[in-house]
Amino acid sequence: MNLGTELIANSAVTVRPRGSPLCSKDALTDDFGWTVQAVLACLAFTCLVLKRFCEPARRRRSWLVWFYDTSKQGLGSLVIHMANIYLATLFQGDPCTWYIVSFLLDSSVGLLVIYACIRLTVKLADKWKWQYLYFGEYGNPASAKAWAAQSGVYMGIMVVEKVLITILVQLEFWDKVRDLILSPITDPKVAITVVLLVIPFFVNVLMFWVTDNFLMKKPKRGRKRAVRYQRVVNNNSNLDSLPEDSDALLSGDEDLLDSPEEAATTPLAFKNVDELLNVNRRNNSVV
C-alpha cells in the first residue's frame, strides 16, 4: 500500500499554481532567450526581402531605396522590442506574460498610432515644405540626409507609441488577461519560444508588411493630364491646311504631368504655322 502511494506521488504531474510566475526575471535575456530573438530577427528580415520581390517589376525599389525603407522599420522595431524586454523585467509578475501583452498592443493599437503620426508628419511636410520628411522619397540620387531625417522622425514616433502603450498596459484589465495567457504551458523554455518566436513571427509578418507600405514611396494617384494651347495667328497661305479649330496643341506628349505649373515649363512649342504643319506631317507619316 505504501509502495503504490509512493509511485503515484512520484508520477504525479506538477501543476503550476495559478498566478505564479512561469518565467524567471532573466528568462528573456539569458542565452536561450537571445537565441530565440535572433532567429525571429532573421525571419523578419527574410519577410521584408520577399516583399521586395513581390512588388511589380516596373515599380520595384532599388536595393538602396529598399534598405533605406526597411532600415527605418528595423531600427524602430529594435527600439520597441528592447523596451518591451526591459519593461517586462521591471514590472511585477511573469515577464513572459508582460512581454506578450505589450507586444500584442504594439501590433494593434500601436500600429494605428504609428499610421496616424506618419500621416500627420506628411501633412506638416506639405504645409512647411519639408522635402526630407516625405517618407520613402530620398531624391535622385537617393540622399542619406533624407534617410537620416526620416529615421529620426520615425524613432520619435516609436517613442511616442511606446509611451502610450506603456500607459495603456497599466490598466487593471490586463491583470486578468495575463493570468489567462500561457496558463496551459508549464515549461519555461516552451513559454519563451511561444512568447518570443511563435506568436511574434505570425504577427510580425503582417505588421512588417503593413508598416513597410507606410514607409515606402507611394505611387501618385489622381494625376491630371495637363496640356497647353496657343492660338496660332499667321497670314501664311498654309493656314488652309490647318484644322478648323485654330488652337494648336503646344505639348503633344502623353506623359502625365504633376500640375498645370509643370505643363507651363514644357519645352515643346510651335513658333509658326510651317513648323506646326511639319510636325503634323511627320506624325501622320508615322501613323
**pLDDT for the residue numbered 222:** 47
Q: Residue 197 carries which DSSP code?
A: I
Phi, psi angles (nearest 5°) of residue 249: -75, 125
**pLDDT for the residue numbered 252:** 42
pLDDT digits (tens, 9 = 90+) for 206-248: 888 888 888 888 766 544 444 444 444 444 545 455 444 444 4
181: exposed, middle or buried (Cβ count in 10 Å: 0-12, 13-18, 19+):
buried
Task: Kindly tell me if the per-residue pLDDT of 85 is higher than 70.
Answer: yes
Q: Chain-wide mean pLDDT for the chain? A: 76
**Contact (Cβ atoms closer than 8 angstroms) between residue 122 and residue 162:** no
**pLDDT for the residue numbered 3:** 43
Q: Which one has a higher pLDDT value, 56 or 274?
A: 56
pLDDT digits (tens, 9 = 90+) for 169-186: 888 888 778 778 787 888
40: exposed, middle or buried (Cβ count in 10 Å: 0-12, 13-18, 19+):
middle
Angle, helices 63-90/144-168, rounded to nearest 10 degrees: 30
Q: For residue 274, what pLDDT band results from cuts at 50, 70 and 90?
A: low
**pLDDT for the residue numbered 179:** 72
- Confidence (pTM): 0.66
**pLDDT for the residue numbered 12:** 38
Q: For residue 275, what pLDDT band results from cuts at 50, 70 and 90?
A: low
Angle, helices 31-54/199-215, rounded to nearest 10 degrees: 40
